[in-house]
Structure 1
């Protein structure tokens, strides 16, 4: 219990003191679809992925304490590792079935903490969802939690240079309507829900 309170306090401090200025003033962040965000029960946020900054930016914008599955290598990067850990991220080993990671995710959902999953599993150069994995749908089935499709627009091109002068793109985060969890874990059902999420997110990106 004390650890949860401590983590939430750190999350709020990092969100307001570090992420807020970056989100609002550097990238002129804007949120669309706030009314679609569940405010009581936990959910699984599913998003496209274009930048290492996606987890803190999404967590801050949605206003819910969202724990992201992040590849283990990111926790070794100075400062970024501290930020994502403070924001509740937990490591996942790419390329292998990490049962411990799944158990952590299920425990967080049962404790009314939200989970964030980048449905492609890794960053995409075009910023869209291209090859979605079915892990989010399976996790939703196991825990019977809503899936929340979210698009973060322009994160794959946050900074561009003109004559060596950095230009920061405007970040727009669009929240779609929640998707019901699968009622069984058959391959066809999981694939159908995953394709639905892909379409929702890419349509939000526009």
Structure 2
């Protein structure tokens, strides 16, 4: 179902708009990794899926799975639920297992769609540290809805250098969360040039 949905999404996006991908060569080829991205609308989820050459397993808020139809569809396209208010051990175990088996996990570290920059949560850094899989920061700039895309607005995804984390210190985890935030700001500056 993931590949079918991705194929349909590619056709729709190419029909209505243009997608530019920068620094795709930075994506690891022979290991699992976390791709983190800004989250201000739903369209970046689709376009990120189009731009990453491997299937992405997205962490999604558990509320999206409450509707049986939507929940079933999300599971078929590799999404798995996370309780953001009361994270359980499975919130960590599922992505760590996926990463150790060489899969790609998509996380939106701000934890929510936000018009303004929301502070990053530490989940991506914690999962990276436990799995020893790198984090690849990504930034999406462009239309937030299909209507905006239809106006031929260009969508841009830019990837940053992979970040490897190996620590037992909570302070270092916090520092890596700040580093991830700084990398996102650097990506914004690269797009503006």
Deviation at 1:180, TM superposition (A): 1.4
Q: TM-score, length-normalised on structure 1?
A: 0.81
Deviation at 1:97, TM superposition (A): 1.8
Q: Deviations over 1:32-72 (max 9, x none)?
A: 11110111110011111111233232122111111110012
**Aligned alpha-carbon RMSD (Å):** 2.4
Aligned pairs for 1:35-50 within 5 A:
35-50=25-40
Q: Is 2:118 the counterpart of 1:134? A: no
Which residue is equivalent to 1:11? 2
Q: Is 2:6 the counterpart of 1:28? A: no
Secondary structure class of the residue paired with 1:123 = coil
Which residue is equivalent to 1:59? 49
Which residue is equivalent to 2:136? 148
Contact 2:43 2:144 in 1 (8 A): no
Structure 2 unaligned spans of 5+:
none
Which residue is equivalent to 1:99? 89
The whole-number CA distance in structure 1 between the counterparts of 2:81 and 2:118 is 23
Structure 1 unaligned spans of 5+:
1-9, 161-165
Q: TM-score, length-normalised on structure 2?
A: 0.86
Residue 103 to residue 76, structure 1, CA distance change in 2 (3 Å): same
Which residue is equivalent to 2:156? 172
1:199 to 159, 163, 182: 182
The whole-number CA distance in structure 2 between the counterparts of 1:67 and 1:102 is 13
The whole-number CA distance in structure 1 between the counterparts of 2:179 and 2:15 is 34
Q: Is 2:59 the counterpart of 1:69? A: yes
Contact 1:55 1:84 in 2 (8 A): no
Paired residues, number: 189
